[in-house]
Each structure stands twice: as C-alpha cells, then as structure tokens.
Amino acid sequence: MALPNRRYQRRVDEIGPTEKFIGVGILVALTGIVVGLVYHVRTDREYLFDVALSDYAGVAGDDAAPVSPSSVTDESASNLAEVASDAVSPTSVFPDSGLAEWRKPTETREYSADDLYIEIDGRAPAYLERGCTGLVVGTYQHIGEEDRGIDVYVFAMATPENARAMYDAELPPDAEQFKLGQAAYEVGGSVFLCIGPNYVQIMPYDLEESSKEAALKIAERIAGN
C-alpha cells in the first residue's frame, strides 16, 4: 500500500529564492558554531596550565633565602647538562636515591624543544619562551609498592639565568626557599630547584610522609650533596 503524500513534501523547484537564502544562512551559522566549538575544545587544555611571562614576576626578590651558586658541584651540573644532547643515560642524569626502598630510573623519556609539548602540554610555551632546549624524565620506583613512584623532570635551559627565570615564574608567593643548588623550595611534597642551567622538578605520586622525605633526598643527590 502506497504511503499518502505528506503536506510538507515539496519539490526543489517549488522553493523560492528567499527560502533558499534563509536556509543557506542557517547552514553557514551552524557550521560556524561547530568549528568554534571544536577550536575551543582543542585550545582550552593547551592554556589551562600556561604560565604568563608576567606571572610571579620577581616574587623571589628580597624575600628569597640566600643561596650560593657554589653549592652545586661541577659534576652534577655537567651530568644534568647532558639532557640537551642526543643520548641520555639514566645513570648519568639520575643518581642512586641513597634509599634502600627506592629504585632509580632504568629508562627515561627524552624530549627536544620541538616536542616538549608532548610531555607538558600547554605549559610548553612558557618554558620555550624562557630558553628551554630539552627535557628528560625519569621515575624512581618504590620497591615492593609498584603504585608508588617519584617522577623527576630535568629541564635543560639555555643558561643558569634562564633556569632561574623559569623557577621564579613558577615559585608560589608564599613558598619557603632553602639552600640546595642555586635555589630550591618544597610545596605539597614536591621539590623544585635550579642546578646550573637546569630546572629540576621532583614529584611524588602520593602525599605519604616517606615519599616527601624521599623526594627531598633525591633532590639532594641530584644536586650533588
């Protein structure tokens, strides 16, 4: 049995120019909305953690604890500088933790300035603007508890001044600094420090007191103390 013709069915040649114009306008508007939504979703994450050049400018200032460049050893600065080279050895960059329950990294993730965004996503522009030339990442693993680890990010910067600029940009205004490398501070169990032309971040997976203590111990070992 044939279906009855519905009243809203019309042939194309019966649609007037005004209706066609309105239809095209609606289609263009909908396309613009979809494109805008896609662009927003792609870029929203990129700048979620971005650090503007003016953020925290000069926060270290006169309140910073006095630190001496001589507190970092030539050997530790030289080893860390290898992150800018083509081949990085976990042994040369990540020393033994000095703690029986924490195993040093057995492999690393390495990034050049061009692919830095793969690891740190939207934060990459702030690092590149301050002269980052590469990054190497390693994880100290807890022996016996595989779900516990401490990630260490070693950013190779163009100069010690660049390393300090990045450190200052991320330094919370109320952070208490202490003498390790050129400068260091701890917040939420994570340790941040400058060693020569390198900016180092040491971040435990959890907030266990033993993890915080291990992070500080690893920072001291990396700084050559």
Express each pLDDT in 109-152 by its tens digit: 999 999 999 999 899 999 999 999 999 999 999 998 989 999 99
pLDDT at residue number 41: 35
Q: In this structure, are residues 198 and 163 in contact, taking their beta carbons and an 8 Å threshold? A: yes
Show the tokens assigned to 51: 């650090």
Per-residue pLDDT tens digits for 12-50: 566 667 766 676 667 766 666 644 544 433 333 333 233
Least confident of 33-47, 80-94, 196-210: 33-47
pLDDT at residue number 93: 80
1 against 43, higher pLDDT: 1
CB atoms within 10 A of CB 29: 10
Show the tokens assigned to 45: 């994450």
Residue type, 107: E
pLDDT at residue number 78: 47
pLDDT at residue number 22: 72
pLDDT at residue number 118: 95
pLDDT at residue number 80: 56
3-state SS, 101-121, equals CEECCCCCEEEECCCCHHHHH
pLDDT at residue number 45: 33
Residue with tokens 């260091």: 184
What is the residue-averaged pLDDT of the chain? 75
pTM score:
0.64
Q: Inform me whether the pLDDT recorded for 91 exceeds 90.
A: no
